[in-house]
Amino acid sequence: MDGAATLPDSINLDSAASLSSHGPTSAAAATGLHSASSTSARSATAPRSSLVAGDARPDAIDLSHHLSDMAKSRLTSPLKSLYGYMQQPGMLLLAGGLPPAELFPFESISAETLAKNSFKTTEVGFGAWLWSWIAGTKKTDEWTLRKFEADKTKIQLSTALQYGTAAGLAPLAKFIYDFTQRVYQPGTADFRTVINAGSTDAWGKIATTLANPGDGVLCEEWTYPSALASVWPSGLKPVTLPMDGEGMTPEGMDALLSGWNPDEHNGMSRPRILYTIPVCQNPTGATMSLERKKAIYALAVKFDVIIVEDDPYYFLQAGEYEPSPTLRSAAQPKKTETDEEFLASLVPSYLKLDYQGRVVRIDTFSKTICPGSRLGWTTCNPLFAERLERANESSTQAASGFAQALVGGLLAEQWGFEGYLRWLKGIKAQYRDRRNTLVDALLDRSHASLETRQAGGSAFEFWTREERDEKGLRVVREKGGAGAGRRILSFVSPQGGMFGTLPFFLTTLKTARHSAAASLCSKIVRTADLAHTPLAVWLRVHFSEHPSFRRKATTDLLMELWTDLAEHNVLVAPGSMFDASEFPPAPPKPEELALTEDGDGFFRIAFSTATPEQMKQAADIIGRRVEKFFRV
Amino acid sequence: MDGAATLPDSINLDSAASLSSHGPTSAAAATGLHSASSTSARSATAPRSSLVAGDARPDAIDLSHHLSDMAKSRLTSPLKSLYGYMQQPGMLLLAGGLPPAELFPFESISAETLAKNSFKTTEVGFGAWLWSWIAGTKKTDEWTLRKFEADKTKIQLSTALQYGTAAGLAPLAKFIYDFTQRVYQPGTADFRTVINAGSTDAWGKIATTLANPGDGVLCEEWTYPSALASVWPSGLKPVTLPMDGEGMTPEGMDALLSGWNPDEHNGMSRPRILYTIPVCQNPTGATMSLERKKAIYALAVKFDVIIVEDDPYYFLQAGEYEPSPTLRSAAQPKKTETDEEFLASLVPSYLKLDYQGRVVRIDTFSKTICPGSRLGWTTCNPLFAERLERANESSTQAASGFAQALVGGLLAEQWGFEGYLRWLKGIKAQYRDRRNTLVDALLDRSHASLETRQAGGSAFEFWTREERDEKGLRVVREKGGAGAGRRILSFVSPQGGMFGTLPFFLTTLKTARHSAAASLCSKIVRTADLAHTPLAVWLRVHFSEHPSFRRKATTDLLMELWTDLAEHNVLVAPGSMFDASEFPPAPPKPEELALTEDGDGFFRIAFSTATPEQMKQAADIIGRRVEKFFRV
């Protein structure tokens, strides 16, 4: 009797599979990988949708050549092959080291949560949320999770607080899979969802699963610095793609990849992984259209690139800023907006276009529930999902059971699919209103001797009327006078889904690639709190108009102004921290001390945290201090 | 004006430091590391204890040469240098991307938790916990965490569920630091504690912080397989140390390291990191004495080795198994046991011996609160702590806020230090009683035609009276008859703190190092649930006494018996999965098909999960099936 052969044969794999959260029965994912047996591939969590009658979607193609050496060396846990036995009625379990749930001190956990319709979906105007808060109109629901719940389909703390599988807590995992299916409509039938411990951790694991040390990672030239910080220690190098108002351009990507010569990149072979934030891009706020996504996806197919879509702001696509109250009111969703209309208003995910399984999508609850959940999920093909589960198993294991139970309880048991969509609509409206509040406040600068001008679309400029004439004498141009004065600030209101709206800085981005912008990072801020969101205005400061511009470097001027603002109680993020082209930060070289070809710099002004009143105060201070800073 | 120089100067570092959970004011940790500035080192979380009057402990020595290339390349986040500004009264925060807490759906979270004294600290006997459960005598406390708590020293959900610092939630971080100080009494004054997302993740980060790909990691020759699986993909290779009944031996370590020749180890240089489970070692159950720890520590100093002490079972040190009820009763703690007596009954941590800062200790709440918390902490010198915080920041960021809030609420606000010690005493007694139940049940085998014999100390043997005589005829020896029969099972009752009690397998371990034991791993179980605890009996099965021994390989016999037990409703863990000397599993070579030099193998029988009744049933089945399996 050959023990090696006996065990797998004697195991009921269907029974084993049924233990997984939502019934994987797919044995697809022919891996071509020694250590990822078909048995273990079956353990990744997703039903085989193509088995559903009428599902014409293809399964993912074989992408096993994308797995990194590290991914291949991750040991397969055939633990789940034991599940058949573990499920055996009457089985006495003396193999595992699970502490008994009776010894968990938590008997029950209760939550008081805001009603799903706590926030209006239509415009509520300045401070309305604050008012509703003070007025105490919020409704809450109270609910309880118990250690041992009589209804075994419900979340049990005895399970959630126990060692869990890398795939996640079953009720939450099922909710997430169904949500992904209905909202993103993946183009492949055999996609899978894996619960993760937050996007940052997920991205690091995805990157090391798909790239070897020394490999390049394609990314937008301005991007989320933590994403680069996550993979840099693993030897992955950012390779920046030029952007326009929609984010990265297909032309730029095509040109870079088709003309790739390793000799021009220190021997680096053509990158095969792309990191992108396609919606409300961080920090620029750019949102990519469906057409653009199709073009990028086609290039990914052409050059065999895996697209990693980090999409925390998907449901916050706020639409165009509209200064006119009438137009603003017309642009907002109707109260009668259906779920279908809401979902249709959002640019489709890359997942929907993905007929090959080469998209890895990262979702997070950080922006829609709370960041402290450290909870999200990854959607990808079964092969990658299986390897990511292994990566979880040997590090974080599973996301925290407290988080999975409480978020799972809220979503799967309290709100359900429709309830969560209703919540998302309200959150989206909240951020839209905040955006409008900040932009309104920034534009209301007449009292600070600054003029605002609309420069087409959502683009705005701030002009000071004061300048020096050719004799060096101070001249104050008359209000409304043309041709004179200096443009000292400009920005494009952040929005969603439109393109060509960031003309100011995008023409100059490429030349700034080798600037010393990033060098400031080491002195100011690199990761964590300050970089979490693009729910912000990307404010260009025209240092080239500063009277000391020829005597002082832009970086110095940027720091001077930043410090001055901070000392006057306004903390903003220096744009330099988002420059992917100079990563990691290096000491600046004197000849590179410019942030754009014109010598301008950027601040990112977030509207996510401050109250409307604080935003107005801050806008006022920014206007006054910048005006003073630029005074001749 | 030089912006680079300006910012650091203008920041109030004391104010910045005060934001951290428990007031780090140490500027020690001269790093010698470019990217780890003294500013950021200050951000690691621990008060400078040596500033306390009368604290004569030294600070850690400079161990920066231990940092791996990856650790050095982790980018420093000087975020905390902004905290001075963030704390500025009236500051308008528009830099950060923090979602407003008003949008978090969780208004409050309540917990119903077992009273700290729910479990007796003294012997309660078989099934008593079950009885007390059914009888409903458990007392619980109810408490609530609110989004906005009037008392700002209390846990606020608005903070816990927000993006957090890598150091962890302040009230929990403070509790943990104080607990570490009081319980483990570290030998260095400047030790720090960093909250982590569970031991597995922490160990992976520690290993990659202190070792480069290709480096060796010293470990016990039988060890927790997940620990190896965590670091294997990073290119770290286990280097096994011989064990005796106390765990790894100083003689073995000294011999290995002093005679280290890279040529004999495929060019690997002498390992500089040691992974050890010194208490209730997994899987052998060995607990190291203070004297042994001193000897190992001295060798670590001699060979410049960092000791990573993974110590999940520290508070579960159960004491010697005692079959006699009278002696058992005498051996258990008195009801009047003080906290000091309880702590003194536990072998001191390596931390206490550590006058150089070369010990990295990993604590977890998995065994004492619940595994699903995915929460624990790492104690180490400030330099390593700072690098580990950076590793957290670019991956998991912080442990889940739900977990930190709920465990923090329980420990810091409900139980406090003394309350948690009381809980730990009860948990320890629970596991001691479970151990006693399983061993009692295993020894109660007279009805299965097996004889049990005490073979000195806590060592026990099972003999079958049946054998074949020289003519091949079946002979049943009389009960109690000497000199005949076959010893088919043996084990040493798991306990704590004593040594020399595992004579059966320890004499043969070394010769088994190149066995095919580990090869079974790939067919059975490698990581996760089944390997989490040594709260188990390490049962030696004497396959060399099996009638088919000369015709069948031990691995085949092991699998046959394992499968037979499983089919009769008992699931145990094959010992082969813990063999560190053959890692990762490779296909077995025929000449190596023996698990000990005698051809014996091991099962690990856990007593952590099953009820007393289930343990008795399982012991009965094991006795009957093994007796049948060995029948001639």
pLDDT at B27: 32
Average pLDDT over residues A76-84: 50
User: How many degrees, rounded to 5, is the angle at CA A363 between CA A359 and CA A365?
Assistant: 175
Give start and end residues of each alpha helix (H) in B285-335. Answer: 290-302, 325-331
Top mean pLDDT of A544-553, B96-105, B307-316 is at B307-316
Closest CA to B250 of B224, B274, B266, B214: B274
If one compares A165 and B442, the residue with the highest pLDDT of the two is B442
Mutation for testing the B interface, residue in A37, A40, A75, A525 having most B CBs under 10 Å: A75
Q: What distance in Å separates the CA atoms of residue B291 and residue B298, rounded to the nearest whole number?
A: 11
Q: Which residues pair with residue B459 across a beta bridge? A: B492
* DSSP E strand boundaries for A27-164: 92-93, 106-114, 140-146
Beta B536-541 vs B601-606: how paired, if at all? antiparallel
CA dihedral B59, B62, B64, B65 (to 10 degrees): -140
pLDDT at B432: 87
If one compares A386 and B461, the residue with the highest pLDDT of the two is A386
* Confidence label for A55 from pLDDT (cuts 50, 70 and 90): confident
Mutation for testing the A interface, residue in B19, B159, B389, B395 having most A CBs under 10 Å: B395
Residue A14 in this model has a pLDDT that exceeds 70 = no
If one compares B378 and B586, the residue with the highest pLDDT of the two is B378
Whether chain A has a CB inside 8 Å of the CB on B330: the answer is no
Average pLDDT over residues B195-213: 95
pLDDT at B537: 81
pLDDT at B481: 56
Q: What distance in Å separates the CA atoms of residue B284 and residue B539, rounded to the nearest whole number?
A: 10
Top mean pLDDT of A134-138, A371-375, B466-470 is at A371-375
CA nearest A202 in B: which residue?
A: B395
Q: What distance in Å separates the CA atoms of residue A514 and residue A368, rounded to the nearest whole number?
A: 36
Give the tens place of pLDDT for each residue, A464-474: 888 777 787 77
- Kindly report the length of chain A: 632
Hey, how many other C-beta atoms are within 10 angstroms of the C-beta on A548?
A: 15
pLDDT at A123: 57
Shortest alpha-carbon distance between residue A560 and chain B (Å)? 6
Size of interface A-B (CB pairs under 8 A): 494
Question: Does residue A608 belong to any structural domain of this protein?
Answer: yes
pLDDT at A571: 87
Top mean pLDDT of A313-322, B43-52, B54-63, B92-101 is at B54-63
Q: How far is CA A530 from CA A225, A268, A604, B316, B620, in A?
A: 10, 32, 10, 42, 61
If one compares B276 and B546, the residue with the highest pLDDT of the two is B276
pLDDT at A326: 78
- Mean pLDDT across chain A, nearest whole number? 78
Top mean pLDDT of A9-23, A338-352, B274-288 is at A338-352
Q: What distance in Å separates the CA atoms of residue A144 and residue A109, rounded to the nearest whole number?
A: 6
Question: Does residue B83 belong to any structural domain of this protein?
Answer: no
What are the residues whose beta carbons fall under 8 Å from the beta carbon of A549, sequence distance 6 or more? A543, A557, A599
* Confidence label for A373 from pLDDT (cuts 50, 70 and 90): very high
CA nearest A110 in B: which residue?
A: B110
Question: Does residue A284 belong to any structural domain of this protein?
Answer: no
Residue A135 in this model has a pLDDT that exceeds 80 = no
If one compares B6 and A247, the residue with the highest pLDDT of the two is A247
By three-state DSSP, how is residue A109 classified?
strand
Whether chain B has a CB inside 8 Å of the CB on A586: the answer is no
Whether chain B has a CB inside 8 Å of the CB on A568: the answer is no
Domain ranges, residue A560: 433-467+484-505+534-630
Give the tens place of pLDDT for each residue, A560-597: 898 899 889 898 877 766 766 656 654 433 333 335 55
Give the tens place of pLDDT for each residue, A447-463: 567 788 877 777 788 88
Average pLDDT over residues A537-545: 86
Residue B496 in this model has a pLDDT that exceeds 70 = no
If one compares A323 and A116, the residue with the highest pLDDT of the two is A116
Give the tens place of pLDDT for each residue, B467-493: 777 787 777 777 655 556 788 888 877
Cβ contacts (< 8 Å) between A140 and chain B: which residues? 107
Say yes or no for a CB contact (<8 Å) between A103 and B427: yes
If one compares A578 and B71, the residue with the highest pLDDT of the two is B71
Q: What distance in Å separates the CA atoms of residue A144 and residue A165, rounded to the nearest whole number?
A: 23
CATH of the domain at A540: 3.90.1150.10
Q: What distance in Å separates the CA atoms of residue A574 and residue A524, rounded to the nearest whole number?
A: 8
Question: Does residue A374 belong to any structural domain of this protein?
Answer: no
Count of domains for chain B: 1
Of B77, B110, B609, the CB nearest to A528: B77
Residue A182 in this model has a pLDDT that exceeds 70 = yes
Give the tens place of pLDDT for each residue, B107-139: 999 999 999 999 988 755 545 555 555 554 579
Q: Which residues pair with residue A89 across a beta bridge? A: none
Say yes or no for a CB contact (<8 Å) between A529 and B163: yes
Hey, how many other C-beta atoms are within 10 angstroms of the C-beta on B161?
A: 30
Residue A13 in this model has a pLDDT that exceeds 70 = no
CA nearest B156 in A: which residue?
A: A372
pLDDT at A210: 98
Residues 103-142 of A with CB under 8 A from B: 103-114, 118-119, 129, 133, 138, 140
* Confidence label for B17 from pLDDT (cuts 50, 70 and 90): very low
pLDDT at A495: 59
Strand order in the sheet with A192-196: A192-196, A376-380, A359-364, A306-310, A273-276, A216-220, A237-241
| Range from A51-65, B166-180, B344-358 carrying the lowest mean pLDDT | A51-65
Q: Are A313 and A279 in contact (CB under 8 A)?
A: yes
Question: Does residue A589 belong to any structural domain of this protein?
Answer: yes
If one compares B13 and B20, the residue with the highest pLDDT of the two is B20
Looking at chain A, the whole-number percentage of residues with pLDDT higher than 90 is: 41
pLDDT at A53: 64
Give the tens place of pLDDT for each residue, B247-273: 899 999 999 999 999 999 999 999 999
DSSP H or E segment with residue B606: strand B601-606
Average pLDDT over residues A34-49: 38
CA nearest B228 in A: which residue?
A: A394
Give the tens place of pLDDT for each residue, A424-448: 999 998 888 888 888 888 888 655 6
Say yes or no for a CB contact (<8 Å) between B523 and A91: no
Question: Does residue B609 belong to any structural domain of this protein?
Answer: yes
* Confidence label for B206 from pLDDT (cuts 50, 70 and 90): very high
Say yes or no for a CB contact (<8 Å) between A529 and B97: yes
If one compares B354 and B327, the residue with the highest pLDDT of the two is B354
How buried is A62 (Cβ within 10 angstroms: 0-12 exposed, 13-18 middle, 19+ buried)? middle
| Range from B16-20, B358-362, B492-496 carrying the lowest mean pLDDT | B16-20
pLDDT at A379: 98
Residue B227 in this model has a pLDDT that exceeds 80 = yes
Whether chain B has a CB inside 8 Å of the CB on A9: the answer is no
pTM for this structure? 0.84
Cβ contacts (< 8 Å) between A160 and chain B: which residues? 372
What are the residues whose beta carbons fall under 8 Å from the beta carbon of A391, sequence distance 6 or more? A71, A74, A205, A208, A209, B233
pLDDT at B584: 60
Question: Does residue B366 belong to any structural domain of this protein?
Answer: no
Question: Does residue B416 belong to any structural domain of this protein?
Answer: no
DSSP H or E segment with residue A21: none
Amino acid at B457: G
If one compares A54 and A268, the residue with the highest pLDDT of the two is A268
Shortest alpha-carbon distance between residue A102 and chain B (Å)? 9
Q: Which residues pair with residue B570 across a beta bridge? A: A92
pLDDT at A178: 97
* Confidence label for A34 from pLDDT (cuts 50, 70 and 90): very low
Closest CA to A352 of A304, A411, A417, A307: A307
ipTM: 0.84
Q: What distance in Å separates the CA atoms of residue B466 and residue B484, rounded to the nearest whole number?
A: 9
Average pLDDT over residues A118-130: 66
Residue A483 in this model has a pLDDT that exceeds 60 = no
Q: Are B65 and A511 in contact (CB under 8 A)?
A: no
